[in-house]
Amino acid sequence: MNDKAERIRFRSSIRPTLRGVGATLALVSAGACGGEGAEGDRTGLGPVQAALEHEFAVIQTVRELPDGRVLVADPLGQTLLVVDMEAGTTAAVGRVGEGPEEYRQPDAVWPLPGDRSLLVDLGNGRLTEMGADLSFGDTRPYMLGSFRMGSPIMLAIPQGVDEDGGIYFQGFGMTAGGAVADSSQVLRYDLETEAVDTVASVKLTDRTRRTSGGPNNQNVSISPIPLSPADSWGVAADGRVVVARSVAGSGEFWVEWFTPDAEVARGRPYPYAPVDIGRAEMEEWRDAQAETGGGMTIRIEGVNGNMDMRAGRGGAPGNDDLDGYEWPDSKPAFFGRIPVDPTGRAWVRRHAAAGDAPVYDLFDGSGTRTATIELPMERRVVAFGEGVVYVVRMDEFDLQYLERYGLP
């Protein structure tokens, strides 16, 4: 009798970017335009404080160290660097491999208490704690719980951390057997106690599920529908979680804050003009996949109920893939992870028409929009430090460069 085998390929939501030319940031102040949450005249934020000319393949986020240096992980370049933005220098930390002080696809670095850091080693399937001296310490798998056919997939790949060291991640909304849900949870994982708590529920992107092969060798492919609406979320240092929501077709979106005590503050809705999806928007979405290296792909193989999982980045769609996708009629209001700055403001990135500049709405802890920031088209916000914001610039070859600006 043949072993029953099932292979599942799941590509997580891919966040597009808008690229173009320009070198300054602009701020739209709600107060300056005579009405809460309104948009008015734009003012520049001033020159770049520091720009690193080192080329990266992909930057998800960066971690500012107490001495002002920055840790940058590049999963496609397979490098972890400590960067001095003032001097313009870089130095490698660790090396490629599977052993101690090694990584296979370093995806992101996050702060931990005591000046420590947390390295997401995507290729080796683990989280690695790093000391204040950047030494490599304890590791643990980011796959949590049992991993059996039919059980939910739970990968503690952080989308944010709090000042107590809690890491926040999102359930995939699918099981190891390929069952798909339309919503999932924001979860908090305590590294010390290994407890997992549910913080909020979020809507996922619409997805397609395709099955091929016979009963003893079945392939299941699950992919998100490009530019379909989904909730976005992020984490403040004090453990509050912000979620941006919108109802399809309503022309409005709003922000909700969830406290560690399960209290919820919901802001008023704000209107937006849906952007129709034409060929230009499709092509821009395709070209933008370099922002995250083609997104994150989860591959699952199971034989007789024993499951094996591999995660990685890469595999952006090619030029001939656009007509093979299912597309909605218009873009949603916003997308991507919501970074939260040291003052507690949530930076919600709005969708725009192809060729328009990237725009971020800033929301305070009550869910009120206090400002709108416009970036040049080839830049995006990735992280914050002490009074600064870190921005990634992409060139015409899809290479990425790190810049630092003063925090507005």
Span 54-80, pLDDT tens digits: 999 999 999 999 999 999 999 999 999
Given a cut of 60, whether residue 324 has pLDDT beyond it is yes
The C-alpha atoms of residue 201 and residue 186 are separated, in whole angstroms, by 6
133 Cβ contact list (under 8 Å, min separation 6)? none
The C-alpha atoms of residue 59 and residue 14 are separated, in whole angstroms, by 14
The tens digit of pLDDT for each residue in 394-407 reads 998 889 999 999 99
Mean pLDDT, residues 230-254: 94
What count of Cα atoms within 13 Å lies in the side-chain half-sphere of residue 208?
11
**From 12-16, 55-59, 286-290, 359-363, the region with the lowest mean pLDDT:** 12-16
Model-level pTM?
Answer: 0.87
Q: Pairing relation of β-strands 217-224 and 5-11?
A: parallel
Handedness of CA 17, 18, 23, 27 (dihedral sign): negative
Q: Which residue from 291, 284, 282, 290 is spatially nearest to 330, judged by alpha carbons?
A: 282
Please state the domain extents for the chain.
5-406
Phi, psi (5° rounding) for residue 236?
A: -90, 160
CATH number for 5-406: choose from 3.30.450.80, 3.40.50.620, 2.60.40.10, 2.120.10.30: 2.120.10.30
Mean pLDDT, residues 147-163: 81
Please tell me which residue, 182 or 366, carries the higher pLDDT value: 366
Q: What is the mean pLDDT of the chain?
A: 84
The C-alpha atoms of residue 394 and residue 376 are separated, in whole angstroms, by 10
Q: What is the DSSP string of 1-13?
A: -PPPEEEEEEEPP
> What 3-state DSSP class applies to 341?
coil
The C-alpha atoms of residue 264 and residue 285 are separated, in whole angstroms, by 34
